Amino acid sequence: MLKVIIVEDEDIIRKGLVYTIDWLNMDCVIVDEARDGEEGLEKIIRHEPDVVITDIKMPKMDGIEMLRQARKQVKFKSVILTSYTEFEYAKQAIELKTVEYLIKPVDEEKIKETMQALQKELDVTKNADFARENAQSTSIRVDFDYYMQLDQSETGYVAKAVQKIKDHYADKISIESISEELGVSASYLSRKFREVTSHPFLDLLNSYRVQQAIALLNTGRYRIYEISDMTGFSDYKHFCSVFKKCTSMSPTLFIKKRK
């Protein structure tokens, strides 16, 4: 749900926007309103809204200056309320990105279209930010197809071990169990695995498991202990420890940041 602040010095317009528009139907909530730019700036900083709808010409501080100052501290989308006579001025005066314009008198259907467009933009931005943070937080990014291609040996033992991780990461597997299947010693396979991938077997196994856990956490459908079992961690505390080692945050904090 989008958090919205409305800044407008004309009471009848401001109250009309706040109380006559079906904001909930647009998946929005009005968190506050303001009568001038100074009051609007204070409330933007206090509430950190997703969207600010503002007039341009207001007492104490105009809408343009308010937005410029607010953007130094808060990320949000902005919508300018303007008349036909002010429209060109508004376009020339605003040097801010992602600004929409609503011509007075405001049409509810136009507001709905504008808020839907802003919702899509915010969703894309939030998902990109989260993906970027997630990518930066994971210490080992596992590209198993790449590791399999690195194994140019005739036996392909390392490639087979990598494939085993991909296919059976949710099961109880180890370098010992895989070496037994391949008919080689565990010490030999462990050494060759590190030579080819530059990582110990257990590190890559755990990293791949954590990547699968992240995908499951992102669905929002499972509890943490369920994901621990689903990704091959027999012990919940061990799962949390490995997850934090790979991502620098606990599964619980990961979920909070995602939300």
Q: Where in the chain is the domain with CATH 1.10.10.60?
A: 144-258
pLDDT of residue 219 exceeding 90: no
Mean pLDDT of 42-46: 94
| CATH 3.40.50.2300 in the chain, residue ranges | 2-135
> Class assignment of domain 144-258?
mainly alpha
Which residue, among 168, 166, 246, has the nearest Cα to 214 in the 3D structure? 246
Mean pLDDT of all residues belonging to the chain: 84
pLDDT of residue 56: 85
Locate 182 and state its tokens: 């391949």
Q: Residue 98: what pLDDT?
A: 52
* Section 76-92 average pLDDT: 73
Ramachandran category for residue 60: left, alpha or beta (phi over 0 → left; psi -120 to 50 → alpha): left
In this structure, whether the domain defined by 2-135 belongs to CATH 3.40.50.2300 is answered with: yes
Structure-token match 């007492």, residue found:
59
Which has the minimum average pLDDT: 68-72, 158-162, 180-184, 247-251? Answer: 247-251
Q: Check if the beta carbon of residue 123 is closer than 8 Å to that of residue 187.
A: no
* Closest by Cα among 236, 207, 211 to 224: 236
Better-predicted residue by pLDDT, 152 or 205: 205
Read off the DSSP letter of residue 85. G
The CA distance from 106 to 85, in Å, is 15
Structure tokens at 108: 């509810």
pLDDT at 90: 62
Return the SS3 of 70: helix
For the purposes of burial, counting CB atoms within 10 Å of the CB of 204, is it exposed (0-12), middle (13-18) or buried (19 or more)?
buried
Residue 241 has what pLDDT? 92
In this predicted structure, the answer to whether residue 230 has a pLDDT above a threshold of 80 is: yes
* pLDDT band per the 50, 70, 90 thresholds, residue 136: very low
Give residue 53's pLDDT. Answer: 93
pLDDT at residue 45 is higher than 80: yes
> What integer is the mean pLDDT of 70-81?
88
pLDDT digits (tens, 9 = 90+) for 161-208: 999 999 999 999 999 999 999 999 999 999 999 998 888 999 899 989
Tokens of 171: 């099961």
Please name the residues in contact with 200: beta carbons below 8 A apart, sequence gap of 6 or more: 190, 193, 194
Task: Output the pLDDT for position 139.
Answer: 43
Interval 28-50 mean pLDDT: 93
Could you give the CA distance from residue 250 to residue 244 in angstroms, rounded to a whole number? 5
